[in-house]
Structure 1
Amino acid sequence: MRKLQVQGVHHITLTGANRQTSIDFWEGVLGMPFIFDQPNLDDPDEGHLYFDPGDGRLITIFTNETRTANRSRTPTDPGCVHHLAFNVSKATFSQAVERLNERGIGHSGPKDRGFMDSIYFKDPMGLMIELACYRFEPPMGCSHADVMIEAHRIRVEASDYNIQEKHLADAIERVVARRQQTLSDDRSPRNPY
């Protein structure tokens, strides 16, 4: 038996309201360029809009001119999507409350997640959206996942409840030590003063 190895998210497709509401939210609120537009090839009564969330991948929205915005929460039953999280810079995150308030969009306020900061609000169809801002940058040539798995190991070794910034800092040090060779015989911390 062999796996079907995935290599990243290709796209996520959501059921949206009408065309303009969808464009106004995904591009007008979240800043995702509207890059492609065609009919839904499986339903001639629907449109299919494509947006770039910032990494060249795709968020696509099925639209129908008879659907209107309904901000009541989408189902969170087992098997349903709970929320979508999008990466934002620290500069953008620090402006999120003000910018959501300017539009009258209700939100959770900033949430401390240990390794990241988050804020939650709903799209026009009631899907929970999260803006997430990492508290660290991975070393050159490494991914956030490389640091996260090492931080998890450190957290478990310490019997701590959740990942904290100290785990991230130590994880980055370990990742660099494994990835980058040195001419020194001793890489341990020292005091040069």
Structure 2
Amino acid sequence: MIRRHHHISMFTKDLKENNRFYTEVLGLRRVKISVNQGDTGMYHVFYGDTTGAAGNDLTFFEIPNIGAARRGTDAISGIGLLVPSYDSLFYWQERLDKYDVKNEGIAEYAGRDALVFEDHEGLKLILINHAGGEIPDEWSPWSENEIAKAHQILGMGTVEITVSNKGRLVSLLEDLFGYTLSFEDGEKALMQAVEGEVFGEILIQESSEDKERPGRGSVHHLAIQSAGRSLEEWDRLLKEKGYVTTGVKDRYYFDSLYFREDNGVMIEIVGTEARGFTADASVEELGMRLDLPPFLEEERDEIESKLKPIEEWT
């Protein structure tokens, strides 16, 4: 019922440093520059593979006056990124050292070899050994960077969510969304959207810590993609179970709806079909200019007047 992760969205204080880290250090492609459709004075920038295919995109909202996050529970607490092999982890450890990015060394994470580190704003990232496994046909790792081809980031893997009530989230993912419980061990549970695949995997950790206070480097929401059920049907099913939803939203590049699960973590469900980021830009021109959905295009002059010029942070 769920195909895989679609994207994940975070807060950043400074797009210039954010852009440098994700394009230069990690070698991802900036695939779309747009705005927060609910607050058009705020940039919304997407990084991913060659076309920004579903399951690749790390997206950021820039809030220049945002404070520091206070880490805690009831929040998305880590983002896994797949790399091709065990050797890739050593390659990336050396690269992170080169850029003075602290890491925890190669160790096991959710049953796989991995390298855990934080970005420049404290966002936890986990490079996960995909061990030569297949990736979705539409994924195309970005190669116009200095990353060795054998070690390029492939796409999103395990997403870590820390909650005060693990059982409620496990039940929701199993009973409504059709996730499979891969393993459960005390305070941890590993859920898979597609059994045996890491592309839609969620690691749930239970914690009695205080609730996280969002800030720079914290995650706003995780988006998952429906495998067949319409958004209208998801909306009905969620409301029947007592959840409050936003209703279906037209984001132009895709349609989606949002809700908060029982611990308060925001989840977005993306529809089965999507225009994608080449709807208004060629593959060659992705991420080079401000793209606006048609329903905001008539406001372009006003929107641009409120934004820092792109050339000042790219």
- TM-score normalized by the length of structure 2: 0.39
User: Could you tell me how far apart the structure 2 residues matched to 1:86 and 1:160 are?
Assistant: 23
CA distance in 2, matches of 1:151, 1:75: 36
Gap change, CA 1:75 and 1:112, over 3 Å in 2? farther
Cα distance in 2 between the residues matched to 1:90 and 1:112 = 18
Q: Which amino acid aligns with 2:224?
A: F
The structure 1 residue matched to 2:184, chosen from 14, 37, 61, is 37
**Could you tell me whether the CA contact under 8 Å between 2:253 and 2:279 is conserved in 1?**
no
Q: CA deviation at 1:14?
A: 0.9
1:124 to 257, 262, 266: 262
Is 2:233 aligned against 1:86?
no
Q: Which has the higher contact order (CA 8 A, sep 6+)?
A: 2
Q: 1:91 to 1:19 in 2, by over 3 A?
A: closer
Partner of 2:240: 102
Residue among 147, 156, 173 paired with 1:9: 156
User: Is 1:52 paired with 2:195?
Assistant: no
The answer to whether 1:161 aligns with 2:292 is yes
Distance in 2 between the 1:54 and 1:81 partners?
23
Q: Percent identity?
A: 23
Residues 52-71 of structure 1 mapped to structure 2, 5 A cutoff: 52-54=192-194, 56-57=197-198, 58-64=201-207
> How many Å separate the matches in 2 of 1:129 and 1:9?
16
> 1:22–1:63: 8 Å Cα contact kept in structure 2?
no
Structure 2 residue matching 1:59: 3-state secondary structure: strand
* Counterpart contact for 2:158–2:202, Cα < 8 Å: yes
The residue type paired with residue 161 of structure 1 is: L
How big is the shift at 1:110?
0.7
Q: What CA deviation, in whole Å up to 9, does each residue of 1:123-181 have, x standing for no partner?
A: 22211100001434xxxxxxxxxx73533415x89x973279xxxxxxxxxxxxxxxxx
Pick the structure with greater CA Rg: 1
1 or 2, which has the higher strand percentage? Answer: 2
Q: Which runs of 5+ in 1 are unaligned?
A: 40-46, 137-146, 165-193
> Whole-Å Cα distance in 2 between the matches of residues 120 and 51 of structure 1?
20
Paired residue total = 141
CA distance in 2, matches of 1:149, 1:21: 35
Change (3 A) 1:107 1:5: same
Greater alpha carbon shift after TM alignment, 77-86 vs 53-62: 53-62
Give the root-mean-square deviation of aligned CA atoms.
Answer: 3.3
Secondary structure of the structure 1 residue equivalent to 2:271 = strand
Q: What TM-score, normalized by structure 1, do the two folds share?
A: 0.60
**Which structure: greater helix fraction?**
1
Which structure 1 residue ranges, 4+ long, deviate > 6 Å from structure 2?
none
In the TM superposition, 1:136-147 aligns within 5 A as: 136=274
Separation in 2 of the partners of 1:111 and 1:36? 34
Cα distance in 2 between the residues matched to 1:160 and 1:21: 39
AA paired with 1:93?
Answer: L
Partner Cα separation in structure 2 for residue 95 and residue 149 of structure 1: 25
Q: Distance in 2 between matches of 1:151 and 1:15?
A: 35
User: Pairwise mapping of residues 19-34 of structure 1 onto structure 2 (< 5 A)?
Assistant: 19-34=166-181
1:151 aligns with 2:151: no
Return the offset for 1:7. 1.2
Q: 3-state DSSP class of the match of 2:276?
A: helix
Aligned position for 1:175: none
